[in-house]
Amino acid sequence: MTSKIAIVGAGMTGSTSAHWLAEREIADLVLVDIVEGMPQGKALDLQEALPVVGKDVSVVGTNDFAATKGSDIVVITAGVPRKPGMSREDLLTINAKIVSDATLSALKYSPDAIFIVLTNPLDTMAYLAMKIGKLPRERIVGQAGILDSARMRAFVALETGVSVENIDCYVMGGHGDEMVPLTRHSNVAGVPLREYLPADKLEAIVNRTRKGGGEIVNLLKTGSAYYAPAVAVAQMAEAILKDKHLIIPASASMQGEYGLKDMFFGVPVQLGRNGVEKIIEYTLDAQEKAALEKSAAAVKESISVMQGLVKI
């Protein structure tokens, strides 16, 4: 039986996610959006591209959630994108309603689906979707850590001239300016970054990683990143559908791990066919713990604001 992935929001991130997923040939795809004709047109364009790359999957565009029936995975990208000068929290009021509606509409037709949330503010929206949908913690995960870690890997590669394949970076924490790049655990071919790079160079990479999304927003001026967030979705979806037990950084529901509860937070998670299988706990030093607590405080504040706006 062919797997099925529904992507809610056919904007740049949603449609690019469909592109990356179609190339992996792991599931039939449904693009959903409220704009008439837009998801249909993008789906048709992508369907017509697949003969060139020799991939046999179905790509459907629709304005009706009924077409998503029986989806194994639901990806929520719908929401207002960031604009220059806008923080992720500025998006909260508008995107909370969008994510709530999308979650309930998708669950109506796919009650057993696993949810991957991208809408910002990411950790808060994943928490909202879990509460609104009354989902068990393993069936919902936020895409952020793969993206943030990939940005850090890219910056290290640019600085060192080493292939990205030799670079492993790990970013924890909330998906925002207080995220925590773990320089002690990140490495170039096994050599810790703290030993491989001068302190000033490493600090610059850490700061650029934290501001990576904003840097792109400021350059584009009319939108936000979509290539890297979308391919991160594809990696997560593939790990789930292929039951790979892949450990990746992602936003997960915390129930005591790292001393955190009742929130979503960026941590290393193991993904398989049932969704989040486990959370991996690193041993952190005092500096890393302090940075993680600061990041957690920012996420908790965002969740608290959201709880004042939405009944969950």
Domains in the chain with CATH codes:
4-142 (3.40.50.720)
Q: Supply the pLDDT for residue 85.
A: 73
Residue 91 to residues 14, 70, 78, 133, Cα–Cα distance (Å)? 18, 30, 12, 21
Residue where the block lists tokens 């992602």 = 250
Catalytic residue among 19, 175, 185, 245: 175
Task: Count CB neighbours of 154 within 10 A.
Answer: 18
| Model pLDDT for residues 225-261, shown as the tens digit of each residue | 999 999 999 999 999 999 999 999 999 999 999 999 9
Output b/e per residue, 48-63; b: 16+ Cβ within 10 A.
eebeeeebebebbbbe
Report, as ranges of residue numbers, the positions in the chain whose pLDDT lies below 70. 82-83, 86-89
Q: What angle do CA 116, 275, 26 make, to 5 degrees?
A: 70
d(CA 273, CA 114): 9
175 a catalytic residue: yes
Residues 6 or more apart from 311 whose CB is under 8 A from it? none
| Model pLDDT for residues 134-144, shown as the tens digit of each residue | 999 999 999 98
d(CA 265, CA 257): 10
